[in-house]
Amino acid sequence: MNAEMRPKHVGSRVPRREDPRLLTGEGRFVADLMGPGTLHLAIRRSEHGHARIMRIGTEAAAAMPGVVAVVTASGLAGALQPVHATSRMPRYQATATRALAEGKLRYVGEPVAAVLATSRYLAEDAAEMIEVEAEPLPELSDPEAAALPDAPVLNPGTSSNILVERVFGRGAVEEVLMGAAVRVGGRFRFRRKAPVAIEPRACLAEVEKGSGRLTLHSSTQVPGILRDALSEALDLPGHLIRVVAPDVGGGFGGKASLYPEELLVCALARRFRKTIGWIADRLEDLVSTSHGFDEIVDAELGLDADGGLAALTAEILGDVGAGSIYPWTAALEPVQVASFLPGPYRLPAYRGSVRAVATSKAPTGPYRGVGRPIAAFVMERLMDMAAARLGLDPVEIRRRNLIRPEEFPYKIGSGIVWDRSGFHESLEAACKAGGYAALREEQAKLRAEGRKVGVGIACYAELTGIGSRISAAPGMPINTGTETARIELDSTGAVTARFGVASHGQGLETTLAQVIADELGARLQDIHIVQGDSAAVPHGTGTYASRSAVLAGGAATLAARTLRAKVTEAAAHLLEASPGDLEAHDSRVMVAGTDRGLSFREVARAVYSEMGRFPRDARPELEASETYDPYFGTTASATHLAVVEVDPGTYGVRLLRYVVAEDCGKMINPMVVDGQVHGGVAQGIGAALLEEVVYDERSQIVTASLVDYSIPTAAEIPRMLVHHVESGPAPTLGGFRGMGEGGTIGAPAAIANALSDALGISVQELPATAERLFRATNL
Amino acid sequence: MTTIRLTVNGEQHEAEAEPRMLLSDFLRGPLGLTGTHVGCEHGVCGACTILLDGASVRSCLCLAVQADGCTVETVEALGTPAALSPLQEAFRAHHALQCGFCTPGMLMTATDMLRNHPLTTEEEVREALSGNLCRCTGYQHIVDAVMAVARTRA
């Protein structure tokens, strides 16, 4: 069989290698590492939205059974430096990430004091006995009020609550808008969400007594970022700190930042020379894990008489919570809304102005989709509003405005450049798969029977696998644009490949092995993937921003090719053949077209163990380390089609059909891709219909349980039809495009459009709860 | 402290626990069975689902003392990494898990439902699984896996 005809691992539905341990309860999550002798940390959190700390009484807590220590900020002096998420962005005000509050309380749930005790039960008992006396200050619950010049300032060291202010755009927006044949617009409100990974955050720090070496096991997406931040905060060289993300029970962005609890367990493990663990309960997770999607957008779109887009203007106000989360900054989400608002459309004039405003709520951070679910919601509603005014079908107005294949690369008004992506192909594929024309006929029939059925379309584009040209968070001064792979063939012929990424459900142990198997010519079972460990490579960040398939897949390709050349060279010497006549497959190097060859094991044995097989000065090194930088990144895009029915009595919503047509380039494992789309859509459905973190006017969070913050179950999620489009080769190595977030980006917009269509209203606030739908329809 | 005697996965166990200790913590701590996961500790997410005298229950809503004299089955009873049970095999074949944290509870609920209900339609399967939250999969592949096993019983 020649090389082209041999079956490839990339593109195959390879069963996941993670599954056997996870299916049998043999996975190792952080909470599973809390062995006997571990001291448990419990945290006393702020009950105030905004207050000045007057006194923290710890005596009663310290006297409780099993308590080893009670710690406040003053007790940590000298042990930890605060960490600041800095930015290159002008008009940015940095705020500190601290282990425990100092001076002021800024949100309900902010850590105030900590208890170390011999069990979690005893630690929590004692935490309740800590007396926190605080003088209430005016809460900043409404982001518009917090942005006013005379508002009380939440963060010491800042001059106002506006942490970032920025304007993007091109063209004479006002002039074009004034001259537009049709103008549509209004206020759009996307309400705050919680990521809700089913595993709550947890971390455990241990110090090797002999060397003083610190290991932090954390349920995190970003072990490399944490290692580097801890090195600064603890003033320790990196070789004394290792951050390990073992099995991680979901992240969705909520585990992609540095948290106070991680600083605390590290500082305390060093002080007490004990293993110290913390496991969040669900209440803590809901009040302290970064929230997302809390945006107000005032937008107006102008079109010509044929439905061609002319100009778009938007004022974006991000309610970012108490301050910047490390390392992403408070700019992350609101700036991304402005960056992606023009979407996949030809739009000559655009202006997006952004303000990120601090409020007395939990800090916001990355959540699956970051900014783009809001951008797509606003833009796709505007497209439907415009279509209705012009008497155009929603599909037709999109056909007229989507960037055409010959127009790529296309720079949108915010400066982002789309490379060739299947914008039109996805729209047509979704309509075909969903039976759009027949759907409209069926809808007319059902409507005649009095049923409230609606069809919604949403198109979006996103930038994935972002390289070093720009940071994954705007203005953030850390490099998220490269990924290193180190691959070695050991003396038994087995392959170990190390990466800086950190899988938390994506199946990277399988997909990266698939890439290496093809590029190196090794059997899957001979390849071991090391990830989720800051010690794996000199610099790594982790898994977020739809980057791992593109960046780690690219690095794996490069390193595997280099190693393959080395193994082939060594085999050529042993076989007395020309390297050009050899090919590697199934962990063997063969003389092409013959049955002569050597297994990787035989090559490795000759290189490492059999003395004298190679000349002294020509001993092969069977390892390779390569770094991949996609520089710009690559476009991924999709069209979502949703069919909904609203119960006219209860305003309950049922999803009747859901179709996704998406272009993620070449798929490594189609089964994994489908799973990512399904999961993303489910989160988008939750965001559209159910999920809302609610703070009252005193900044008290009233949705701190899974009863009050409700996420979709199997009964609310419809069967999804996923159609893959491959418009052309992606500019990335391997041809992969990122696709971990897309489902969440398209779904809220498609559902908002479908609900608007069903009820003859304009849904401009999400989640579209039954109450909001009733009010919009009747009041 | 109270002494609790119970049968877990066919083996007799005896251990001490405070009266307030949750059954989930008892299984994970004194008994060392960390396959049962704790996701919310207030009875919503279902990650801690086990079978108590044959019925699926939230182990975070039971006290360990309530399980005295009872028979408990946890995910560790189903199969091993080298020899998965048919339900576990179906989960793997259908890619019914991503992060794997909700999976043990999902498997135990499905075990109960498959033992006691016909599960002939997709709607029934979705209803049967609606007490277990998964944030990764969008449920579709889980539903497919359970339906595949349900069909083999016919």
Phi–psi pair at A374, nearest 5 degrees: -70, -45
CA torsion A176-A177-A180-A186 (nearest 10°) is 160
Q: How far apart are CA A351 and CA A358, in angstroms?
A: 23
Indicate yes or no: CB of A16 within 8 angstroms of CB of B95. Answer: yes
Tell me the DSSP string of B61-82: GSBGGGGTT-EEE-GGGT-BTT
Regarding whether B73 and B115 lie in a shared domain, the answer is no
* Residue B133 · residue B37 · CB < 8 Å: no
Instruction: Name the closest residue on chain B to residue A678, using Cα atoms.
Output: B138
Regarding whether B55 and B118 lie in a shared domain, the answer is no
Which residues, in sequence order, are CB contacts of A485 under 8 Å at separation 6+?
Answer: A497, A498, A499, A537, A552, A555, A556, A558, A559, A560, A625, A626, A627, A628
On whether residue A734 sits in a domain, the answer given is: yes
Buried (b) or exposed (e) across A471-490, using 16+ Cβ within 10 A? bbbbbbebebbbbbbbbbbe
Interface mutation vs chain A, best among B18, B33, B101, most A CBs within 10 Å: B101
* Residue A372 · residue A414 · CB < 8 Å: no
Burial bucket for residue A405 (CB in 10 Å: 0-12, 13-18, 19+): middle
Regarding whether A432 and A412 lie in a shared domain, the answer is yes
- B77, B103, B127 - which closes a domain: B77
B101's tokens: 């944290």
Q: Which residues of chain A have pLDDT under 70?
A: 1-4
Residues in B closer than 8 angstroms to A682, CB to CB, are 135, 137-139
Helix axes B140-153, B86-93, angle to 10 degrees: 140
Regarding whether A554 and A434 lie in a shared domain, the answer is no
Measured CA to CA in angstroms, residue A358 lies from A147, A578, A629 at distances of: 8, 66, 34
**N residues, chain A:** 779
Regarding whether A486 and A464 lie in a shared domain, the answer is no
Regarding whether A488 and A594 lie in a shared domain, the answer is yes
Residues in A closer than 8 angstroms to B18, CB to CB, are 121
Peptide bond into A394 cis (omega under 30): no
- B52, B77, B102 - which closes a domain: B77
Q: How far apart are CA B17 and CA B26, in angstroms?
A: 7
On whether residue A101 sits in a domain, the answer given is: yes
Indicate yes or no: CB of A198 within 8 angstroms of CB of B44. Answer: no
Total tally of structural domains belonging to chain B: 2
Which residues, in sequence order, are CB contacts of A68 under 8 Å at separation 6+?
Answer: A39, A116, A117, A118, A272, A274
- Provide the domain limits for residue B68: 2-77
Regarding whether B70 and B27 lie in a shared domain, the answer is yes
User: pLDDT tens for residues A298-341?
Assistant: 999 999 999 999 999 999 999 999 999 999 999 999 999 999 99
Kindly report the nearest CA distance between residue A749 and chain B, in angstroms.
18
CATH number at residue B135: 1.10.150.120
On whether residue A190 sits in a domain, the answer given is: no
Give me the pLDDT at residue A363, please: 98
Q: How far apart are CA B84 and CA B77, in angstroms?
A: 10
Q: Is A355 helix (H, G, I), strand (E, B) or coil?
A: strand
Q: How far apart are CA B95 and CA A15, in angstroms?
A: 8
Tell me the DSSP string of chain B: -EEEEEEETTEEEEEEE-TT-BHHHHHHTTT--TTS--S-SSSSS-TTEEEETTEEEEGGGSBGGGGTT-EEE-GGGT-BTTB--HHHHHHHHTT--SS-SSHHHHHHHHHHHHHH----SHHHHHHHTTTS--SSS-SHHHHHHHHHHHHHH-
Q: How far apart are CA A475 and CA A716, in angstroms?
A: 39
Regarding whether B107 and B72 lie in a shared domain, the answer is no
* Residue A275 · residue A214 · CB < 8 Å: no
User: What is the Cβ-side half-sphere exposure of residue A177, based on CA atoms within 13 angstroms?
Assistant: 17
User: pLDDT tens for residues B55-111?
Assistant: 999 999 999 999 999 999 999 999 999 999 999 999 999 999 999 999 999 999 999
Q: How far apart are CA A333 and CA A368, in angstroms?
A: 11
On whether residue A745 sits in a domain, the answer given is: yes
Q: How far apart are CA B99 and CA B106, in angstroms?
A: 13
Phi–psi pair at A344, nearest 5 degrees: -85, 25
Burial bucket for residue A350 (CB in 10 Å: 0-12, 13-18, 19+): buried
Regarding whether B58 and B90 lie in a shared domain, the answer is no
Total tally of structural domains belonging to chain A: 3
Interface mutation vs chain A, best among B28, B136, B141, most A CBs within 10 Å: B136
Measured CA to CA in angstroms, residue B143 lies from A15, A581, A670, A744, B146 at distances of: 18, 50, 18, 21, 5
CATH number at residue A332: 3.30.365.10
Buried (b) or exposed (e) across A187-206, using 16+ Cβ within 10 A? ebebbbbbbbbbbbbbbbbb
Indicate yes or no: CB of A27 within 8 angstroms of CB of B136. Answer: no
Say if A182 is an interface residue toward chain B (CB within 8 Å): no
Tell which residue, B144, B143, B123, has the closest CA to residue B132: B143
Sequence letter at residue B6: L
Q: Is A345 helix (H, G, I), strand (E, B) or coil?
A: strand
- Provide the domain limits for residue A553: 19-26+482-628
Say if B24 is an interface residue toward chain A (CB within 8 Å): no
CA torsion A438-A439-A441-A447 (nearest 10°) is 160
Residues in B closer than 8 angstroms to A714, CB to CB, are 125-127, 129-130, 132, 134, 139, 142-143
Helices (H), A576-713: 600-604, 670-689
Residues in A closer than 8 angstroms to B15, CB to CB, are none
Tell me the DSSP string of A484-545: EEEEEE-TTS-EEEEES---SSS-HHHHHHHHHIIIII--GGGEEEE-SBTTSSSS---S-T
On whether residue A61 sits in a domain, the answer given is: yes
Regarding whether B47 and B69 lie in a shared domain, the answer is yes
Measured CA to CA in angstroms, residue A398 lies from A352, A406, A665 at distances of: 21, 17, 22
B residues 88..147 contacting A (CB < 8 A): 88, 91-93, 95, 97-104, 107, 122, 125-127, 129-143
CA dihedral over B18, B23, B25, B29, signed as positive or negative:
positive
On whether residue A13 sits in a domain, the answer given is: no
What stretch of H or E contains A749?
Answer: helix A742-759
Q: Region of A464 please: left (phi>0), alpha (psi -120 to 50) or beta.
A: beta
Closest in B44, B93, B138 to A717, CB measured: B138
Regarding whether A300 and A276 lie in a shared domain, the answer is no
Regarding whether B45 and B98 lie in a shared domain, the answer is no
Regarding whether B91 and B73 lie in a shared domain, the answer is no
Closest in B76, B101, B130 to A250, CB measured: B101
- A607, A628, A649 - which closes a domain: A628
Regarding whether B46 and B92 lie in a shared domain, the answer is no
Regarding whether A242 and A110 lie in a shared domain, the answer is yes
Kindly report the nearest CA distance between residue A254 and chain B, in angstroms.
12
Regarding whether A638 and A618 lie in a shared domain, the answer is no
Instruction: Name the closest residue on chain B to residue A676, using Cα atoms.
Output: B137
Burial bucket for residue A417 (CB in 10 Å: 0-12, 13-18, 19+): middle
Measured CA to CA in angstroms, residue A417 lies from A341, A414, A421, A463 at distances of: 13, 9, 11, 9
Regarding whether A654 and A546 lie in a shared domain, the answer is no
Block residue for tokens 């996941």: A16
Closest in B37, B38, B95 to A671, CB measured: B95
Instruction: Name the closest residue on chain B to residue A27, using Cα atoms.
Output: B35
User: pLDDT tens for residues A116-149?
Assistant: 999 999 999 999 999 999 999 999 999 999 999 9
Which residues, in sequence order, are CB contacts of B32 under 8 Å at separation 6+?
Answer: none
Say if B34 is an interface residue toward chain A (CB within 8 Å): yes
Indicate yes or no: CB of A250 within 8 angstroms of CB of B139. Answer: no
CATH number at residue B32: 3.10.20.30
Which residues, in sequence order, are CB contacts of A151 under 8 Å at separation 6+?
Answer: A140, A145, A160, A161
Regarding whether B56 and B18 lie in a shared domain, the answer is yes
Regarding whether A549 and A491 lie in a shared domain, the answer is yes
CA dihedral over A45, A49, A53, A55, signed as positive or negative:
negative
Residue A627 burial (CB count, 10 A): 18
Indicate yes or no: CB of B39 within 8 angstroms of CB of A671. Answer: no
Helices (H), A544-696: 548-575, 600-604, 670-689
User: pLDDT tens for residues A724-779?
Assistant: 999 988 899 999 999 999 999 999 999 999 999 999 999 999 999 999 999 999 98
Regarding whether A210 and A61 lie in a shared domain, the answer is yes
- A576, A593, A628 - which closes a domain: A628
Sequence letter at residue A54: M
User: pLDDT tens for residues A511-558?
Assistant: 999 999 999 999 999 999 999 999 999 999 999 999 999 999 999 999
Residues in A closer than 8 angstroms to B20, CB to CB, are 121
Percent with pLDDT over 90 in chain A: 96
Indicate yes or no: CB of A27 within 8 angstroms of CB of B100. Answer: yes
Q: How far apart are CA A503 and CA A508, in angstroms?
A: 6
Residue A62 burial (CB count, 10 A): 15
Q: Is A16 helix (H, G, I), strand (E, B) or coil?
A: coil
Regarding whether A648 and A599 lie in a shared domain, the answer is no
Residues in B closer than 8 angstroms to A198, CB to CB, are 37, 39, 45, 47, 99, 101-102, 133-136
Burial bucket for residue A213 (CB in 10 Å: 0-12, 13-18, 19+): middle
Regarding whether A436 and A362 lie in a shared domain, the answer is yes
Q: Give me the interface pTM, i.e. the ipTM.
A: 0.99
Q: How far apart are CA A88 and CA B37, in angstroms?
A: 42
Regarding whether B61 and B92 lie in a shared domain, the answer is no
* Residue A202 · residue A219 · CB < 8 Å: yes
- A580, A595, A628 - which closes a domain: A628
Q: How far apart are CA B127 and CA A778, in angstroms?
A: 32
Interface mutation vs chain A, best among B44, B80, B140, most A CBs within 10 Å: B140
